[in-house]
Amino acid sequence: MSNPSHVPAPEMFQSKGMTRFLIGLISVGIISLIVVLAIGLFAPAGSPLKHQFIFSWLFAFLYFFTILIGCLFWILLHHATDSGWGIVVRRQMENLAFLVPWMLLFFIPIFLLRTELWQWITDIGKPHLTPDLKDKLAYFNLPLGPVSIPFFWVRAILYFVFFGSAAFYFRSTSIKQDSDGDPRRSIQMRGVSFLGIILFAVCTTLMAFDWMASLDYRWASTMWGVYIFAGSAGASMALIILVVFGLKGAGYLSFVNEEHYHIMGKLLFCFSIFWGYIGFSQYMLIWYGNIPEETEWFVRRNVESWNTLSTAMVVGRFFIPFLYLLFQYTKRNSKFLAAISIWVLIMHVIDTYITIMPFMHPTGVQINPLDVLCLFAIGCPLAFIFLTTLGKVSLFPSKDPRLLESLKLSN
């Protein structure tokens, strides 16, 4: 075991050797972005192609959005619990969460094509509302005084304001600490994270209701927000593991050792279990209760080939990571851990796909080229922004007062 007694100097990421890769990445991103946006914006309104575009886009948007806010959750948890283990990897969480403000740009097509997505937006214009929509109108479109405020969109802005400003605050404070090493910043961030974790819970729950569950506004489940949170926190831990693994492979962060991987593996393991626990609890209560407006959600996801995919997701997102990560060896060996992290990220694609797409293809799974293109159109620019901004600050908080504690970590 290496037992460093001094703090290493700040490391800066050099992107010189990967110019070609970066150009390739942004080219793929921009080409697919142009293709999908052209299809989406110029296809005639109400056509199946436009419909397909906006559903694929929402799917891809939510895939990345949930992962990025999951990274914010790990920062908040890290500060709130005053953890010492992860100081060396915390900067990567901050860098990833800092991509959230960019998601606002990718939200624009969703706003423009909102009537294609959310059925109730067109329904509330009609003279006679169904009783279930009438009761929920205050939540969807709260009238405040003389002016009718579209509460749904105000909330959407609030989510971006909260997630974006929290990501900005924690990253910039941590960077300021890189230069002055003031321990009071750590204490201040801990205080902010207490409030932040409450706001995070509120925003994530409401976001999950607004953008996913309200695709079928009759459906309600108190577990839904937790379910989305559990999946996103697990997937973002997988992404953090992969980013650290990649940086270590490129010769940076040489002091990250199997002890750090062990803890990250344990967190990935526990969030795989948590996802299974929440997903099952939600499913079993609705299945056992057998109330039509609740079961509709799961009936939709278990017709024809959706049933196969839903079953495969349960096996792939819960049973495989559970049995795989049960062993200490797989958590401590970085290659084994990176392999299951890729697997979890793929399973998160399927999870998001099953959340969104049954509304588009109620008769069975139909994978459209637009689904893949939209993933590239959002993912490649995000990866490009991440890699180009990575070199601007040190790869770890080099003057954090607890850095040495993190370096000497022992499980």
Rg (CA), the chain: 22
* CA 193 from centroid of its chain's CA atoms: 19
Q: Least distance (Å) from another protein to the CB of residue 362?
A: 21
Q: Least distance (Å) from another protein to the CB of residue 287?
A: 6
**Closer residue to another protein, CB minimum distance, 180 or 304:** 304
Token digits of residue 67: 């992962």
Q: Least distance (Å) from another protein to the CB of residue 49?
A: 37
**Closer residue to another protein, CB minimum distance, 57 or 283:** 283
Q: Least distance (Å) from another protein to the CB of residue 313?
A: 15
**Closer residue to another protein, CB minimum distance, 15 or 281:** 281
**Closer residue to another protein, CB minimum distance, 151 or 318:** 318
Contact 337, 330 (CB under 8 A): yes
Contact 195, 78 (CB under 8 A): no
**Closer residue to another protein, CB minimum distance, 121 or 270:** 270
Residues in contact with another protein by CB under 8 A are: 1, 280, 283-284, 287-288, 290, 326, 328, 410
CA dihedral 249, 102, 64, 300 (to 10 degrees): -170
**Closer residue to another protein, CB minimum distance, 284 or 299:** 284
Bridge partner residues of 12 (DSSP) = 394
Contact 210, 61 (CB under 8 A): no
The CA distance from 114 to 136, in Å, is 18
Q: How far is CA 62 from CA 5, 126, 212, 311, in A?
A: 43, 29, 9, 22
The CA distance from 190 to 342, in Å, is 31
Q: Least distance (Å) from another protein to the CB of residue 270?
A: 14
Q: Least distance (Å) from another protein to the CB of residue 208?
A: 23
